[in-house]
Structure 1
Amino acid sequence: MADIYTPPKDSAYLLSTGFQMPHENGDKWAMAFDSYTGTILTAGLSVVITILFLCLWNLISFFGMFFDGNKTRRRYVALVTLWNSNDPWFACKELLYYAVQCLKESKASGDFWYGLGFGLAAFVVFAGGIVSSIMVPSALLIGNVAPVRPSSVFWPQEPDDTVKSLQVFGLLAPAAMRSLGSVEAAQVTLRDRVYVEESPKYSGANDEEPVKGIKYNYTLSGVDMGLRWGSELSLDVTGSCITEYGWADKQANNSDNPGDVYHLWNIDSRDQTVFVPISEDVILDAPSASFRPHPDGAAQLLKDSNVSYAVMIYAAHRSSISKSTDPWYATEKRKEPAAKSQYDADYWMKRHRPFLSCWQQDKWRYGSHSVKSVDELKKIPGIKIKEVLLEILEAAFGNSPMIVTLGNASGVSALRSQTTSPNGVIDAQNCWMVDDMERLILASFVASRSIFTDATMFPETRYPNLVTGGDKKPRSGAGDFVVSSPEIQTFSLNGITALLVLLVFLVLANAATSWLLSFFYRNQNASEVGNLVDVDRWTRFRVFSAVHLFRCLFEGSEDKVEERGWSCEDTVPTVENGDDEVKLVGGCCKKRCMGHLSKTLSKAAAAQREDGKRDSDQKDNNVVSYEEAGEEDREREAMLPGSK
């Protein structure tokens, strides 16, 4: 439905309403939005996916904290890096760098694999978040259709007199023009769905009467038509045409009204006799064509939907600026050049151009049930398509093949040679019978597929509406189809729901981890030395935070912990007695020194230390030597669980 040349009006469909979108694998739960709202929704889905992957990384970091290896300083460097890496890209970069550093020592193979594994996991989360935020919203955008508004559906009732027949013809003509316009705009796309072959290309005794023909077939499903539950419905169309020279009665002659006489299917009756005039006023027009079903066409439709029809070409003595040997556009030299208003054309089409003898069979199927005609669809047991929609199909396909209806409704626009002629003169060498028929066959495919879309595009009229009931309201099921428009964006509600459920799950999982940490913080007992391992397993989640590690800089270097104005329960130090000054210290003479932190106590804090509230160890204001730092590290490592 994507190549319909003219979209329906905005009032013809419903937006922001859940509906079952027709799909070849079964209807899908969906919702349609206008293009602006759809763009906002796409951006919102990208944000949701970004948050989802951040939550996923938080869970990975949480579980990664339990792999402490031998509880060495080297492993704890990785744990600190992991726990303070809320961004997976930062974690990827730092952990892979950590793994490279560990690779230099064979004793650190466990730490190497830890850094490499979680570094690669971080990269997968980082890349997955970016790719998913782009791909997933696009995958959730499953079409550009919306459910129809039932009150906008109209289809003319079957005419019962000549006046109503003329009215219906006028109502259907715009739909035919839209179908032809779609062919001109999207012919390459349509050729993938319609098989057309020139056959036979040539046969006959001489070049004066070349025999040419065309074979075609295409398949449509109820999904193509936009029908809900349409995946079970299918229409297979097969047809063929061939030039028929035997219908021309070359013996007939009427000097009062010159022209060519044809007897369709060689039936010598007035109803099946066609006259192609060649009077001076008529041949000023470009060639045209008309279509007529076989006189037994109605019976053929009911029997097996294999209907014969004729394509009648009105081209005799029409002017051309070039010569041609095509069956419809074969030319000969004019006795005298045409007038200047007709470009002094030197050629005109020969008389007795062959009509086309054609047949077309429509095979309807619903599920495993095949029917002889479209009228029998409603008799299939268990069919889900509503009766009112089946009646529209009967009205559209139940009288003649679609190509006949379309060809007659399109009038003079049926042939491309007519549409490219400004004043009745054509360029015959660029006009081909096969091209004209191919264009009409493609347009028939479009017209068949857009039957229900066309039902929403009729102008306001007082003509009786097939869709309404006795109460003048739409009958049940009148809105059980969708229409297409480039202004519509359709999203899968199943996909959006699954995405939101996954997000809620990950958010709740993150909340559960936070609750677990809070629970163990409240229930740990630091005074029980024998419980040191259990305390360490949960305490590390808070101790390893960047703020807390910075706070630890101000604790004493002895076994006794001194808070020094910064409680272990606070993330920000108190400043009642003045804050301590922090300095960046360098000059340790290492080539790749990453710098050191030192602290200078405020006057109030220094006074408190002198009063005995704190130890005034001057080493706190200077960078310790390498030997002192190593001794202190060994002492701290000896205190870690599992070091004994």
Structure 2
Amino acid sequence: MSIYTNPPRSAYVTSFTKRFTMPTDSGGIPAVAVSTRSASLIVSAYTILILLIFMVGWKLILAVIMAYWPTLRDKNRHIALVELWNSGESMNAAVLMFEFCKRMILLRPAQDAEDNAEKGVQNTSPGNSPRPNGDTLDPDNPPKPDNQDTISSSEGQLGEGGQITRGRTEPAPNIRRSNLWWGILFFFIAASMSLGNIAAGILIAGELLMGSVAPPAKDSIFYPDFKQYSVKDDNGAGPAKLISLRAPAAFRAIGAIESSEVTVRRKVTLEPMQVPEGQKEQWKGRNYSYNVTGVDMGLQSDPKLVLRVQGSCHTEYSWLVNTTGEGDTYRLWDRTETIFVKRQPVQDGPPTADFVLGDIPDNSSNISYAMIIKTAGRYSFTSGQDPWYATEKNQVNVSIGYQIRSGRPALSCWESKKWHLGSHEAEADQLGSLPGLKLYKLWADDVFVYEFLMPRVVTLGSAAGFSALKSAALTSAPSYILDANGSGMEGDLERLVLASWVSSSNVLRETTAYKGDGLVNLLRRGKGVVEDQAAEFVLQSGDVGTLSVRILISVPLILVILFLIELCFSWVLTQKPPPQDDNILESDTPHAVSLLAPHLYHVLDKKRESPASRSHTAATIPATYSQPTGGLSRRTSRINPDQKPGEQVDTKVTAG
């Protein structure tokens, strides 16, 4: 529910140790309530944890790629690995892999073949093959390389069917096509991680902060012992106390619709009735209906409980049996007793209405009621034609031009209520008979029966008094002269029905706001204390933030699990390298060193291409692609294991 008045701080509990169930349309969600300031700090902290989750996840993905993606002695694959390793984060990696795919698409076959020739790759049949230095290669006794620290200077052969074996490689077109598909895969992985990071930061933060509800402090809950105060032999003192106790709640309900009428209007259906044949032109009527759910009432135990209310009101001219200059006389439902409404031009308050209940049937919650307006004779600045506010010219010599006519019709109404839980239903006074109901027994058997048996319009209108009608807002002290043109029966009825929905939704919430000084608390009767089960509902407050326990636990848990997996994976790779002998983490020292020294490729690229040919993206990354040019057939970059920090790297480029 979104219509509420902030309760006092003592009325609810905020603590990480006080777990409760936040009611939602799909069921209850475990939650805790904290202050809004604490909630903001926690959401910010969890946003950082989500960033760390994706950082660790991306690091784990990189480790898998580095360990298990075979380079096939291909220069472009090696450079792709260097770029991934030095990308820093997934967004940069996605951009670099996009550039890698462009490179693979635009790479000419002849250019790729020249690149392989630079590495000394010969696509010949097995047997003796020429080496770059003019020697022959004996397959049975292959000589060791001149320098184990040489990058991209190994030989390869192609076996039968183009299969890759140690020291062998695929034909250049197959490598290029394979590189393209791998680049596309890495691009989508990196882009998914980057976009997932952004989306998770937004969505999970929203799921973490679910609303602004908190469980009530049970000692703040009060409900009067209505049976004790409903006796009729105390000269009406008991009922008067109950009405006085409920009056502030009625004012809050009416005030809520004044500030949020559009929001409440979505919850209530009001439709005009078709005029029956033979009725006067001034005849008007309205059908109304609304549902009050367990979520609206804040029930932790039964969020899917629904109270379905239907009703109708229309003008009934036949109840007006006599009208004179003194007043109007009404006889309701053909009863013997009559009701007299005095005509009073001058009033000391806004217009009001009398609410009269009809006979209460047995085993049914369909109850009739009537409303009799008290506006006859009141002065008005404007003229009107509404059944309740129709005017005539003022016959008295005063400055006010209009008066409300006598003989205003009463409203004949009915209202029915039924409880629904799943596929079961029960009458308003039989809530406790619903199968599967978990509601606190005292609420179900006593309080809800008392609250919902009578039409809510009647109980609310009686408690609201002068504030019940919408026309009351158009008058002011001391004269309380009406605006007949701006007033209407339909507006008054709509105000009462909307306020009835708000009042019904707040039945339990108002128990923490009642001022029960000197009255007996029904919840303490026979026990002395309020039971914990009585506090299984929630209050709304703008000073509270409701956090999901599931998110509070799962986000740090996922981070710890990923971190442990990453640590274990790194330890396994350190202790036992992967079985492939041509991946980036093989024992070949130059490959591993080059990851931490990508400037080696950058130095070579600067020697081999002009700065103008280097794209902006590639120029920002040390490891860029090499463009083969004429006159260069082989290059090697040698790293001296004994090289001291700061010394020049030995880079040798030889001409073919």
Q: Shorter-normalised TM-score: what interval?
A: 0.7 to 0.9
Structure 1 CA distance, aligned partners of 2:245 and 2:526?
22
Between 326-335 and 541-550, the greater mean CA deviation after superposition: 541-550
1:211 aligns with 2:287: no
1:380 Cα offset (Å): 4.0
Structure 2 CA distance, aligned partners of 1:541 and 1:178?
78
Structure 2 CA distance, aligned partners of 1:7 and 1:389?
23
Q: Deviations over 1:420-466 (max 9, x none)?
A: 20131111111110111011001001100111111111125121111
1:33 aligns with 2:81: no
Between 235-244 and 117-126, the greater mean CA deviation after superposition: 117-126
Aligned residue in 2 for 1:277: 342
> Quick one: structure 1 residues 495 and 542, their matched pair in 2 at CA, closer, same or farther if it must change by over 3 Å?
farther
Whether contact under 8 Å (1:287, 1:417) holds in the other structure is yes
Structure 1 CA distance, aligned partners of 2:642 and 2:41?
61
Aligned residue in 1 for 2:248: 174
Match of 1:238, SS state, is strand
Structure 1 CA distance, aligned partners of 2:583 and 2:255?
77
Aligned residue in 2 for 1:413: 467
> Quick one: structure 1 residues 393 and 102, their matched pair in 2 at CA, closer, same or farther if it must change by over 3 Å?
same
Aligned residue in 2 for 1:246: 318
1:429 aligns with 2:493: no
Alignment of 1:219-618 (within 5 A): 219-250=291-322, 258-269=326-337, 273-282=338-347, 285-294=349-358, 296-297=359-360, 300=361, 302-338=362-398, 344-374=399-429, 376-390=430-444, 391-398=446-453, 400-422=454-476, 423-520=479-576, 533=581, 537-539=585-587, 544=592, 548-549=596-597, 588=607, 590-592=609-611
Structure 2 CA distance, aligned partners of 1:231 and 1:331?
49
Structure 2 CA distance, aligned partners of 1:19 and 1:452?
16
Q: Deviations over 1:303-347 (max 9, x none)?
A: 211111011100101111111111000111111343xxxxx2211
Whether contact under 8 Å (1:320, 1:345) holds in the other structure is yes
Match of 1:215, SS state, is strand
Structure 1 CA distance, aligned partners of 2:205 and 2:279?
63
1:483 Cα offset (Å): 1.1
Q: Deviations over 1:402-431 (max 9, x none)?
A: 110000100011111112201311111111
Percent identity, aligned pairs only, is 30
Between 31-40 and 310-319, the greater mean CA deviation after superposition: 31-40
Structure 2 CA distance, aligned partners of 1:96 and 1:34?
46
> Quick one: structure 1 residues 532 and 115, their matched pair in 2 at CA, closer, same or farther if it must change by over 3 Å?
closer
Aligned residue in 1 for 2:181: 113
Structure 1 CA distance, aligned partners of 2:54 and 2:649?
44
Structure 2 CA distance, aligned partners of 1:261 and 1:532?
103
> Quick one: structure 1 residues 539 and 625, their matched pair in 2 at CA, closer, same or farther if it must change by over 3 Å?
closer
Of 179, 184, 204, which residue of structure 1 is paired with 2:258? 184
Structure 1 CA distance, aligned partners of 2:501 and 2:580?
79
Match of 1:29, SS state, is strand
Q: Deviations over 1:146-170 (max 9, x none)?
A: 1111111111111134212111111
Whether contact under 8 Å (1:585, 1:623) holds in the other structure is no
Whether contact under 8 Å (1:286, 1:424) holds in the other structure is yes
Q: Which amino acid aligns with 2:572?
A: L
Whether contact under 8 Å (2:471, 2:482) holds in the other structure is yes
Whether contact under 8 Å (1:214, 1:241) holds in the other structure is yes
1:88 Cα offset (Å): 0.9
Count residues in correspondence: 552
Structure 1 CA distance, aligned partners of 2:307 and 2:87?
59
Q: Deviations over 1:22-55 (max 9, x none)?
A: 2232222111222111111111121111111111
Q: Deviations over 1:517-543 (max 9, x none)?
A: 22227xx9xxxxxx9928964447995
Structure 2 CA distance, aligned partners of 1:47 and 1:621?
41
Structure 2 CA distance, aligned partners of 1:166 and 1:59?
72
Of 274, 287, 291, which residue of structure 2 is paired with 1:200? 274
Match of 1:14, SS state, is coil
Aligned residue in 2 for 1:11: 10
Q: Deviations over 1:106-139 (max 9, x none)?
A: 4322222222321232122112101210121112
Whether contact under 8 Å (1:154, 1:467) holds in the other structure is yes
> Quick one: structure 1 residues 199 and 411, their matched pair in 2 at CA, closer, same or farther if it must change by over 3 Å?
same
> Quick one: structure 1 residues 515 and 614, their matched pair in 2 at CA, closer, same or farther if it must change by over 3 Å?
closer
Whether contact under 8 Å (2:14, 2:32) holds in the other structure is yes
Match of 2:341, SS state, is strand
What are structure 2's unaligned runs of at least 5 residues? 110-172, 624-639
> Quick one: structure 1 residues 260 and 536, their matched pair in 2 at CA, closer, same or farther if it must change by over 3 Å?
closer
Of 86, 92, 95, which residue of structure 2 is paired with 1:93? 95
Q: State the TM-score, normalized to the length of structure 2.
A: 0.78
Q: Which amino acid aligns with 2:373?
A: I
Whether contact under 8 Å (1:290, 1:411) holds in the other structure is no
1:497 Cα offset (Å): 2.5
Structure 1 CA distance, aligned partners of 2:513 and 2:96?
62
> Quick one: structure 1 residues 541 and 219, their matched pair in 2 at CA, closer, same or farther if it must change by over 3 Å?
farther
Aligned residue in 1 for 2:144: none
Q: Which amino acid aligns with 1:238?
A: Q
Between 428-437 and 11-20, the greater mean CA deviation after superposition: 11-20
> Quick one: structure 1 residues 541 and 444, their matched pair in 2 at CA, closer, same or farther if it must change by over 3 Å?
farther
Structure with more contact order per residue of length (Cα contacts < 8 Å, sep ≥ 6): 2
Whether contact under 8 Å (2:218, 2:532) holds in the other structure is no
> Quick one: structure 1 residues 541 and 357, their matched pair in 2 at CA, closer, same or farther if it must change by over 3 Å?
farther
Whether contact under 8 Å (1:55, 1:510) holds in the other structure is yes
Structure 2 CA distance, aligned partners of 1:431 and 1:130?
53
> Quick one: structure 1 residues 187 and 520, their matched pair in 2 at CA, closer, same or farther if it must change by over 3 Å?
same
Aligned residue in 1 for 2:70: 68
> Quick one: structure 1 residues 406 and 550, their matched pair in 2 at CA, closer, same or farther if it must change by over 3 Å?
closer
Match of 1:42, SS state, is helix
Q: State the TM-score, normalized to the length of structure 1.
A: 0.79
Aligned residue in 2 for 1:641: none
Q: Which amino acid aligns with 2:209?
A: L
1:131 aligns with 2:199: yes
1:511 Cα offset (Å): 1.2
Q: Which amino acid aligns with 1:220?
A: V
1:103 aligns with 2:105: yes
Whether contact under 8 Å (1:198, 1:434) holds in the other structure is no
What are structure 1's unaligned runs of at least 5 residues? 339-343, 525-530, 554-582, 598-612, 631-644
Match of 2:518, SS state, is coil
1:157 aligns with 2:225: yes
Whether contact under 8 Å (1:69, 1:110) holds in the other structure is no
Q: Which amino acid aligns with 1:139?
A: E
Whether contact under 8 Å (1:146, 1:483) holds in the other structure is yes
Structure 2 CA distance, aligned partners of 1:614 and 1:206?
108
Match of 1:325, SS state, is coil
Aligned residue in 2 for 1:78: 80
Aligned residue in 1 for 2:153: none
Structure 2 CA distance, aligned partners of 1:472 and 1:495?
39
Whether contact under 8 Å (2:71, 2:583) holds in the other structure is no
Q: Which amino acid aligns with 1:305?
A: S
Q: Which amino acid aligns with 1:627?
A: T
